[in-house]
Structure 1
């Protein structure tokens, strides 16, 4: 049952076995002061009728559609697209107005596009429904009237008592999916709730739901017979959050106080919104241009028609004389009708089938990610997952990467490296060496100094064994001590009584709220001191002489990010009262005697530069008077309901003074596999990397150094609560002063960066890193003055954008999303990517343009809400630099090619109007109008956009700078767009006037007849289909059998269809315009010569360029650095390589 809580609880612990915990399940934004909850739905008074208040249910919803709203909502979203809405209007016009083409020519492609897109989006949403049901239908145990009842999670109500114990009034949970910390946290039960739950009569008053994971205020009223109710204070240490996982505790009981979408986890979710890629935005912009061209063509033809008809010198043929009804029609109405008819005639310039081709390309292309064997992780036996295929090309446009730390950059696996005692460095080595398991590298404690050295060593090791919140985890051999949860096994080694020697070998596991605390306790074991655990309030340690020492734990002064230290007050068996304190050097050094600092500082600084996490250790003896004063102050502060934190802080600062410094430790936080190489590759590709974490600043900073995000020459600009307090002035004044100072340093005085080179990889020898914490970020974004807030925000953003890397620590989930949103909406609208592994990362994953979930071990909330999911951070490199690069190049070519081929298609139709008296006579048959985009030219470009590899993947991975060549939507800017447009105009003019020139004089067929209107149009259409298809063949660099099949198969299908369509009399057609036209055309030698000549003339520049490129024979060095330019792959990609490498999944 230990996993039960990870699905539905936020709770408060209580004494033995089945104790009452307060659980938090949900969410709310109603700003009422508090809510009142009756435990087990029992009224506080037996004389009162109990009316349960209404709260939201416990369902979690991440899907977008339901069975009832799918059709209208999906249609609404699809018709927001300009092309879809436009073709809907055109279809209605064709139905209502007498137009030159059938409504089928517009309606059939539109229905095809809408249907395919709806099926794809419906399937993706069905997968989200399936994931939601796994959570909502999970069985839970509810205590009702003394019985245990199994219910589905979605049926939990506020006030339900849930079962899901330790005999010491504690339970352990991990909150990795909430705040990114996978360490075990201890939660405590509420006193006086140990009696039978059936008779427990209590109510809970607590604050309304709010998203802060670390704050909770409430009280419990426990009613007893004929007595005043007992009031117990409730805080975050009594609250178990939904999304946390129960560890090392078999069963707990708790009261649901927030449910469903009112939980803190749900409150930290960002609402799902429709993400639109930069490519789609470019498509919409290009469509507006083509709509303007369309309207201009229709307007021009309408004007010229009436100018031509009203020209008195124009000899109009007798068969064109107007009927009486036409003469009686209102002139303006007739002009408007003609305008609409021309719009319908030219409407195929808008490529409606482009959208369905793009959808199919994205959907089918996403399988290449899931099939990639390099993404398969044998540890979890899973590969990559694609939740949203709409953003494939966005993977090739990322400019900012926002990453979580714990579980993403690091494994959260700490290892004790060395320690420094009284200025002497001790580094552990394997047993069996000459130094008996350790070496002293800076002046060992020799036998002359043995007594003094031994005392300092043992005092230091006692501090490591006592100053922590670690709990001993019993081994399975100890029967009932076996618990569920993570188990860190350590081996202690024996001692001989001299120096620091390990104890006899035994296996022991530890759990703690901080992994480096476990590492320190393990480090003490290596040197002969073993923490044995608690007996009630007594801590036991085993010395290297195999003596068991007992210390009474009097108080724990918990760690917090402002103090950056923690302390314990203990009493030895001899009656001495000691305070042991460990913390960051900047926090400890000012509180110890300064003559002791210099002996330790050098080692601490050296360890920090090596990327290790360092802590300093100090101690202090307390006499009876000092302890009594400290005890009274701590008890009073902990009972306070108002300003509790401030009062505790004042007592802590008073107690933790006048200490003696005895040493320091160095702990390594292991990175994820290839984390540093991945970060370097991303920066080499021109991306800015920001680390957003809820962890402590020191931890996160050392991780950034280890990942090479901060280098040795990086000057860190720190904007935290500590730096704001250093100035001795009001925080807001100090904030303004530091922002101005940092802006001058990083922005105003920074050397200019050359175009095309990011600051992180410029030639400058000096760069900046920026560090900010959550509290200071709140001041920046939410200043008391609106004008100051806007100015602070702009200064902060400019500083960050000019820094190599940015670290944001102690971030709440919504603050992560605020950071991403701020950068996303900044000048230039850079493309952002967020990556994380827990529920605390969901908000930023949803806020970013692209969200990546890591398939971690602590939950799948991030995976379910992400666009893409990968097993480990190292896979991000290939996902962006290889797959993202290729996806963008492919879809950019697809978009430009679609506009090009449709312009080639419709321009001859427009030119034909100048030669047919603007009579709206179509140049092409209706079958050709309908089939051109659906059948004749769609499959070749689809295959190209799925299989093309202009540069092989190995080269893309080895040369991260290639990614910069496609950055900022380089291939879909206005320059390349106008090039493709001019190319389409050139080909369209050549098709029309080339055929007209070659057949200007009456060209006789074999039967003596001349070519007519439909023969003329069919020749133009044949040249068009062959030219645009062969153009794509010339652009293809990576040929597969599929490319050959669809390119040559499409041309063969066109020929077959033309013969078939024109060779049979179809009874459902009123007019058979193409009857035997195609066969007669091909029986003419002049038609054959004209078609071949015009195709060659159209493609001649492309053919010459390909030949020139082949003859030039680029060397390997040039091939490695080839980039697709922002135009067509033949004209502009002058140095592409014909890759013979295929995707890894085809091996």
Structure 2
């Protein structure tokens, strides 16, 4: 006791309470003398970040955590505190604009979250209190309340199902808002809960809140008068999740176990880790360069100022003598102050508005993906989905594509093709023939020839009808409509034309997996029909139309580790049987080995043909075996700690010594245009890795069908089969194979470069690599005495020199490990993962870019992805089209921002050499403030949204164009140096060109000379026109919006200069530009120098345009794409069938 108190006092580790106790209806159990109700959180849902009181400080704190914002805040404070040459408004106003726009955006988004929260929290719910029904707001529900929910209502919190209006004590729910699955799921009441809930006395022990939607562990103690409490296990089948909707059930009653922010829905709304694009890293690198330039400029000017002042004869004139206070000032403090002043003077070289422009470009640009009608799929009536806009440009930089097979490369649309029973092949065909020496049936079992294996055939088909979790969808209402529903379903199955329907209506069945529906339908083709469940009895109609009833005792659920599932049933004669189906690698070690050889050849042949195979086995359980299994299962289900591990141990114990009956073959057809898409990705320089949990032969056949493997491809196999060597250890054989493959694929063959298109007819040999999950574990997690790092390095080098890598028999965690390994290798290549199921979520989250397919395995992949598309074929346009354009646009935006700010500040820096380093600004404060906000911001924003340097059709037809921008080509140091030199050239030209003009003492017709502000205004005018016209020259795709913002920005600058220098002057405290702009334009010399300097500044670009030869086969197509003279350009944010969100139109 003392040690526990000391541990608690001094914070020592103590076992965390990992379960909670809940009193149903807040009624104490009979053994309780005094009830002290435990405290749980209320049922309020809070998805908002801010309140009225903390919005301002919290939002400002978050915004000033960004380096750029914090930097400009420091500059603003320096201007306020120190006597600087420019007004604090020049940096304060742009910063205020950026902070205000961001705060308004975030505040509005948070207001919407508050509004949504209130709709949920204020919703009225019916609760049982002291034997009567009462209404209360959802946010006032407490853990332990018994809640009533009626049909089509959503559950207000996580509930344990106590009572249902259905006779079979079940209810149906949809969880579309949680995982996207629209099919109905069945949940069960807790056995032995009393009908009269008002008198129910029970407690619930369950695990603490955790976010896994499909995991729940608990038990309920039900107390009766003077009896031992009955203990019932609780699992996910008893838990109704907040956000799910009640369907096909009039009403249910449930007890609240998790409320508010502890519900699984709330726990799953935690944000994903932030992914950073390569463009962001380039921006940060460029910012460091420009920050160094800024500091260097300030140091140079500060040093030269004091050197110049200390020269003989540089004393201050009599009218500007230093005061005594200035003379007594500390020299180093004065130098530091001057350094800060120069930093303020040159600070505009850092583009503060670039961050806002980039964010707006990403946000608005993401709508073009959503609006693209080429992504719309009529089957699911949905288009593309953008979950994050921060990675648009990353779509144009992908080097490695990791794809799932089932549901991604294939349709996940299963159709039963054939089966093998006791070594004989049965194929549903129109005419009987002999194939490979095995019998091929010509119809259902009831018209087969009589043979000795009749009992095995019926046993096999009964196994297909019993070993599953499929439920029959009722035809109407909740009555006994099962038979009618099955008749309709039978007609539908017998009339199949190779097509299956969507997950919401799988041929009259409700199932979590299309595989199970395909097997049940396959049994129906041969005369055995599953009729559904009645209470705990499974009903099957045999070929004689007799209904057989089997009592369902236990379901041993499927999981990816076991790769099998089983049921234990009892026949009417009292026999207890276990039926099991699963992958051959999982079933073969658990059956009699003499039975394996008859089936293995069929399984391997079907897998080679690309079919999905499952093996079926059974076991007749003795009374002792069943009692032992039943006891073990019940004890494991009641365990709160390590329930899954205990269940797994019982499963492994009972699923041994089985008899193999046969195997099934189910076809999963390729996705539409899967082969063309994979070929285009490889033509774009991307390397494709297929990561699948399927067997090697099936996956290899799919790779050939998708043209990832060609007939000329030499396959390097590293699987358990190739590691078998009776005389040596597996590690030794692994090392030998890795060295051999490394010599062939790396040392003796030239590496495959990303910029070279793969040619199947070339002299260079193409290699494909195949590895399975067990061997991958040896490579990545070798024993300490083996050289694991060497294995991993050799494996990675081999894979990087292969055109395609196939990883089969992968667990979800292994998929993520593969992606992480490639992502962190030398060069840090950009990775993309694409998948459709929950087992793909780990690799989707691990990759730089995660793509979800809106498939048939729920929406977990979609919810966790960065982008979601309906079909695999849409990946081609997403990467080769949108990705290419997004990258080019934002790369040009970033380079242009740094370039125009360098042009802006360089004359300011040069001017200090001619004003005695007095920190005299060259431009008026209004120009300093408005340059980045108004004069030059809108044209580049429009360009970064609308520019198409190559039209979408050409990008799609020429995959090699993708390689032109690969590896961050447009944001490398070479292009950055070009833009920087161009900015230096133009900045020097602006300053010294105007200075040459000012060498003439008489510039105006009246003989007057221009002053300091006229000098700066002419430089600024040339600057604004040059950088805007430079952007116009870079524009290849003109729309009316481009015309409006480019010419409109120049017109606005002219109007503002007239307005600022004339009309508004009486309202200003000081007016340094009074009539300056008008006087400047009245001078012929000023006009001449402005036009001449603009032409000279743009001369390098003009020469490049004239001298640059058209490159690539697409030049003629681009010319055809452009409109003829006289054609109006209309920008359409349309939803027509155009190839992009905007197009040319007459």
In 1, distance between residues paired with 2:861 and 2:286?
35
In 1, distance between residues paired with 2:113 and 2:743?
48
Note closer, same or farther for the CA distance 1:1145–1:375 as it changes in structure 2 (3 Å cut). Answer: farther
Matched residue, 2:1113: 1116
Cα distance, 1:1103 vs. partner?
Answer: 1.0
Superposed CA deviations along residues 889-930 of structure 1, whole A, max 9, x for unmatched, are 111111111111111121112112212222222222333222
Give 5+ residue unaligned stretches, structure 1: 1-28, 496-506, 1123-1140
Of the three residues 50, 64, 80, the one matched with 1:79 is 64
Matched residue, 2:583: 584
Cα distance, 1:888 vs. partner?
Answer: 1.8
In 1, distance between residues paired with 2:717 and 2:257?
42
Matched residue, 1:638: 633
Note closer, same or farther for the CA distance 1:299–1:512 as it changes in structure 2 (3 Å cut). Answer: closer
Note closer, same or farther for the CA distance 1:826–1:1082 as it changes in structure 2 (3 Å cut). Answer: same
SS of 1:418 mapped into structure 2: strand
Instruction: Report which stretch shifted further, 971-980 or 243-252.
Output: 243-252
1:917 matched to 2:916: yes
In 1, distance between residues paired with 2:424 and 2:885?
56
Give 5+ residue unaligned stretches, structure 2: 1-13, 150-163, 496-505, 1120-1137
Matched residue, 1:289: 289
In 2, distance between residues paired with 1:51 and 1:531?
51
SS of 2:1066 mapped into structure 1: coil
In 2, distance between residues paired with 1:1066 and 1:127?
44
Of the three residues 595, 620, 628, the one matched with 2:623 is 628
Matched residue, 1:1044: 1043
Q: Is the 8 A contact 1:1065 1:1072 kept in 2?
A: no
Matched residue, 2:98: 113
Note closer, same or farther for the CA distance 1:366–1:833 as it changes in structure 2 (3 Å cut). Answer: same
In 2, distance between residues paired with 1:1071 and 1:1142?
55
Cα distance, 1:691 vs. partner?
Answer: 7.5
Cα distance, 1:941 vs. partner?
Answer: 1.5
Q: Is the 8 A contact 1:716 1:771 kept in 2?
A: no
1:465 matched to 2:460: no
In 2, distance between residues paired with 1:739 and 1:258?
50
Note closer, same or farther for the CA distance 1:648–1:37 as it changes in structure 2 (3 Å cut). Answer: closer
In 2, distance between residues paired with 1:802 and 1:107?
54
Cα distance, 1:177 vs. partner?
Answer: 7.7
Q: Is the 8 A contact 1:218 1:234 kept in 2?
A: yes
Superposed CA deviations along residues 30-64 of structure 1, whole A, max 9, x for unmatched, are 93143211112211137633222122344555554
**Two-structure CA RMSD over aligned residues (Å):** 4.9
Matched residue, 1:995: 994
Cα distance, 1:1066 vs. partner?
Answer: 0.9
Note closer, same or farther for the CA distance 1:422–1:519 as it changes in structure 2 (3 Å cut). Answer: same
Cα distance, 1:1041 vs. partner?
Answer: 2.0
In 2, distance between residues paired with 1:745 and 1:101?
70
Note closer, same or farther for the CA distance 1:107–1:844 as it changes in structure 2 (3 Å cut). Answer: farther
Matched residue, 1:279: 279
SS of 1:374 mapped into structure 2: helix
**Structure 2 matches for 1:5-154, cutoff 5 A?**
31-45=16-30, 48-127=33-112, 141-149=126-134, 153-154=138-139
Cα distance, 1:947 vs. partner?
Answer: 1.2
**Structure 2 matches for 1:155-170, cutoff 5 A?**
155-164=140-149, 165=164, 166-170=166-170
Q: Is the 8 A contact 1:633 1:651 kept in 2?
A: no
Note closer, same or farther for the CA distance 1:701–1:155 as it changes in structure 2 (3 Å cut). Answer: farther
Matched residue, 2:311: 311
SS of 1:476 mapped into structure 2: coil
Superposed CA deviations along residues 953-996 of structure 1, whole A, max 9, x for unmatched, are 12223334433333333222222222211111111112222233
Instruction: Report which stretch shifted further, 152-161 or 950-959.
Output: 152-161
Note closer, same or farther for the CA distance 1:562–1:1083 as it changes in structure 2 (3 Å cut). Answer: closer
Matched residue, 1:523: 522
In 2, distance between residues paired with 1:262 and 1:700?
43
Cα distance, 1:88 vs. partner?
Answer: 1.9
Q: Is the 8 A contact 2:396 2:883 kept in 1?
A: yes
Q: Is the 8 A contact 2:305 2:917 kept in 1?
A: yes
Superposed CA deviations along residues 698-731 of structure 1, whole A, max 9, x for unmatched, are 9996997599497586969889xx99999999xx
In 2, distance between residues paired with 1:486 and 1:281?
60
Matched residue, 1:15: none
Cα distance, 1:282 vs. partner?
Answer: 2.4
In 1, distance between residues paired with 2:651 and 2:667?
29
Note closer, same or farther for the CA distance 1:787–1:829 as it changes in structure 2 (3 Å cut). Answer: farther
Matched residue, 1:937: 936
Matched residue, 2:298: 298
Note closer, same or farther for the CA distance 1:353–1:563 as it changes in structure 2 (3 Å cut). Answer: closer
In 1, distance between residues paired with 2:127 and 2:897?
60
SS of 1:1067 mapped into structure 2: helix
Q: Taking structure 1 as the reference length, what is the TM-score of the superposition?
A: 0.80
Q: Taking structure 2 as the reference length, what is the TM-score of the superposition?
A: 0.80
Matched residue, 1:903: 902
Note closer, same or farther for the CA distance 1:749–1:270 as it changes in structure 2 (3 Å cut). Answer: farther
Matched residue, 1:612: 611
SS of 1:1116 mapped into structure 2: coil
Q: Is the 8 A contact 1:742 1:799 kept in 2?
A: no
SS of 1:159 mapped into structure 2: coil
SS of 1:222 mapped into structure 2: strand
Q: Is the 8 A contact 2:854 2:868 kept in 1?
A: yes
Cα distance, 1:311 vs. partner?
Answer: 0.9
Matched residue, 1:375: 375
Q: Is the 8 A contact 2:483 2:531 kept in 1?
A: no
In 1, distance between residues paired with 2:1085 and 2:344?
33
SS of 2:80 mapped into structure 1: helix
Note closer, same or farther for the CA distance 1:588–1:341 as it changes in structure 2 (3 Å cut). Answer: closer
Cα distance, 1:280 vs. partner?
Answer: 3.0
Note closer, same or farther for the CA distance 1:202–1:984 as it changes in structure 2 (3 Å cut). Answer: same
**Structure 2 matches for 1:521-560, cutoff 5 A?**
521-535=520-534, 538-551=537-550, 558-560=557-559
In 1, distance between residues paired with 2:109 and 2:865?
13
Matched residue, 1:768: 769
SS of 2:226 mapped into structure 1: coil
Q: Is the 8 A contact 1:44 1:202 kept in 2?
A: yes
Matched residue, 2:666: 667
**Structure 2 matches for 1:1124-1135, cutoff 5 A?**
none
**Structure 2 matches for 1:423-442, cutoff 5 A?**
423-429=423-429, 433=430, 442=438
Q: Is the 8 A contact 2:556 2:565 kept in 1?
A: yes
Note closer, same or farther for the CA distance 1:761–1:1041 as it changes in structure 2 (3 Å cut). Answer: same
Cα distance, 1:821 vs. partner?
Answer: 7.1
Matched residue, 1:1080: 1079
